[in-house]
Chain A
Amino acid sequence: MKFSILVSEGPYTHQSSDTAYQFAKAVLAKGHEIFRIFFYHDGVNNATRLTTPPQDDRNIVNRWSKLAEENNLDLVVCVAAAQRRGIVDEGEMKRNGKDATNLAPGFRISGLGQLIEAGIQSDRLVVFGD
């Protein structure tokens, strides 16, 4: 079965991002496919590579990057939500005249259409938020 996941909250403040990650791992462990994980609202903050959590705490951003790399996952960050919250890739930096990028590996920035497409192409779409 094809699953997609919507992550609507950022790392650490809400448990949603952790739950979404554990759920994604369980989906894969069961042999299902993940079509896309889409990050919206403050969920886009899961994609900044600039976090430095305490050494003895989980590194939520790196965890997502690693999961994506090991399983060839499509992690998509909503461009409008990202612009509002300062999550920037090369393209956005040039387009909006910013002086830095901060997008973590394994993520890409794209439009809300990717969320709709995930809904269309997947058998199940689960929302994790507040």
Chain B
Amino acid sequence: MTTKKFMMVNRKAPYGTIYAWEALEVVLIAAAFEQDVSLAFLDDGVFQLKKGHNTKGIELKAFEKTWGALEDYDVTKLYVDGDSLKERGLTADDLAVPVEVLSRADIGKLMEEQDVLLSF
């Protein structure tokens, strides 16, 4: 099978809408298809990675555990926009998994290298 570079671009907060959750499902399938998968988190997308989600009260599935499972699928390229973190009062220490914090310009450069950009 041809391998292409797929980048999933996540810019929405978790739970208020379903996009974050359904984006993850695409990530797992792309990995199962052995594609070169990376994830970019910008704007409110960085909130998806925040540690300590407790969704019992809103009765939605929490997907914090899924971040941890990505490694089993060989999905390890998680890029986070530093400005988006700062604007939202977060640092890399607040996040549930190891990520690479980059500038928007550097994320832009990575985007240019992709074959497929999927936005959610």
A residues lining the B interface (CB < 8 Å): 6, 8, 40-41, 80-81, 111-113, 115-117, 119-120, 125, 127, 129
Is B35's CB under 8 angstroms from A116's CB? yes
Beta-carbon contacts of B98-120 to A below 8 Å, as 1s and 0s?
A: 00000000000000000111111
> Would A129 and B119 count as touching, CB distance under 8 A?
yes
What is the CA–CA distance of A8 and B119 in the complex, to the nearest angstrom? Answer: 9
Q: How many residues of B contact A (CB 8 A)?
A: 20
Contact of B116 among A40, A80, A111, A119 (CB under 8 A): A119
Question: By the criterion CB–CB under 8 Å, are B33 and A116 in contact?
Answer: yes
B60 adjacent to chain A (CB < 8 Å)? no
Closest chain A residue to B33 by CB distance? A116
Residue interface mask B1-21, A partner, CB < 8 A = 1: 110101000000000001100
Residues B29 and A111 in contact, CB atoms below 8 Å apart: yes
Chain A residue nearest to B32 (CB atoms) is A113
Q: Is the CB of B119 within 8 A of A40?
A: no
Q: How far is the CA of A8 from the CA of B18 in the complex (A)?
A: 11
Report whether A125 and B19 are in contact in the complex, using a CB–CB cutoff of 8 Å: no
Cβ of B22 under 8 Å from chain A: yes
User: Inside 8 A of B30's CB, which chain A residues have their CB?
Assistant: 116, 119
